[in-house]
Amino acid sequence: MQRTRVDLAAEAAKRSADPMERIKKLYDDQAAAAQRAASAEAARGKQVDASLTRELAAIEKKRQAAMKTERDRQSAASRKPTRDPDLATPASISKLLRDALPGVRITSTTGGKHVANSDHYRSAALDFVPKGGMASMTKPDVREIFEKAGVSIRRNAGGVEQLFGPGDKGHSDHFHVAWEKGKLAVDNYRASVKETAKAEREAAAEQKKLDTALDQILGKFDPAADAARKYREELEEIDKLAKAGKITPDQQVAYAESALTGDTLSAVLARFETGMNVSAIENARIEAVAQKAKRDIKVATTAAAKRAAYAAINWNWSA
């Protein structure tokens, strides 16, 4: 039984890593259960062909719906935002920075005094100061924000990236960043993020339904797999408590033994204590035999007598 539980737990872990496999397994189990029930009815002389066909068709319909939901979730998660030449504006980039850096101060967009032909005057640059001051972040930190949002930082004709800050002339007290217009529809990007989040929530809700249905199926038709699932979940909870320091290593072993055998914790602890006592008694007995043997060998005056004393050691002796 223990080997079966381990195997089933391993299979369940594999399915949990692949949502599509989990869905297939759930509905395969439902179809198999329906067929077993129909076989039992048929054995009693009932006509089940039509009802079994309808039930299997309903199960297959649910399978396809669940798989479509999962495919949609995966598709939404991998979908890239569309591009648009007009939406990367000072306003949308300012909002992007405020979302990423709460408390940020936008110190300049299209106004103020800048060098001739500045990107500020083309509505394609802004200056800002992080809430924590200039020492609170670096240019790579700024670059990462823009890269994650899909916004390309502009490079001039000489290939110089238009991202400046401390260490660059005239930018010790603010960051300056200019972007490539037309590289990303920031609003579309946000919409894509929201769509992905919605799809993930729907998939999570569907997964919860599948988990509940699977638990019911296992409990009804596959007690061994259900027991393996419960045991695995209990071990996970026990492990979390141990890692959090809420229980000792000894308690962790005792709880795991209780979860496996179904015995009460007091019974498990009593068994552990008995085992420890027996071990202590046995260790003392073996030590007594060893001490007597050493004394006998030590007092022997010839090599032959010492060998005889060694050969005479009786490890089954008890004082």
pLDDT at position 197 over 90: no
167: confidence class by pLDDT, cuts 50, 70, 90: very high
Please tell me the pTM assigned to this model.
0.35
Mean pLDDT of the chain: 79
User: What per-residue confidence (pLDDT) applies to 62?
Assistant: 83
pLDDT band with cut points at 50, 70 and 90 for residue 256:
confident
Q: Got the DSSP string for the chain?
A: -HHHHHHHHHHHHHHHT-HHHHHHHHHHHHHHHHHHHHHHHHHTT---HHHHHHHHHHHHHHHHHHHHHHHHHHHHHHPPPP--SSS--HHHHHHHHHHHSTT-EEEESS-S---TT-GGGGT-EEEEE-TT-GGG--HHHHHHHHHHHTPPBPB-TT--BSEE-TTSTT-TT-EEEEB-TTS--HHHHHHHHHHHHHHHHHHHHHHHHHHHHHHHHHHHH-HHHHHHHHHHHHHHHHHHHHHTTSS-HHHHHHHHHHHHH---HHHHHHHHHHHHHHHHHHHHHHHHHHHHHHHHHHH--SHHHHHHHHHT--TT---
> Which pLDDT value is given to residue 191?
60
Q: Read off the pLDDT band of 109 (50, 70, 90).
A: very high
pLDDT given at position 67: 83
Pick the more confident residue, 240 or 18.
240
Higher per-residue pLDDT: 220 or 166? 166
What pLDDT is recorded for position 127? Answer: 95
Instruction: Name the more confident of 196 and 273.
Output: 273
Which comes out higher in pLDDT, residue 241 or 22? Answer: 241
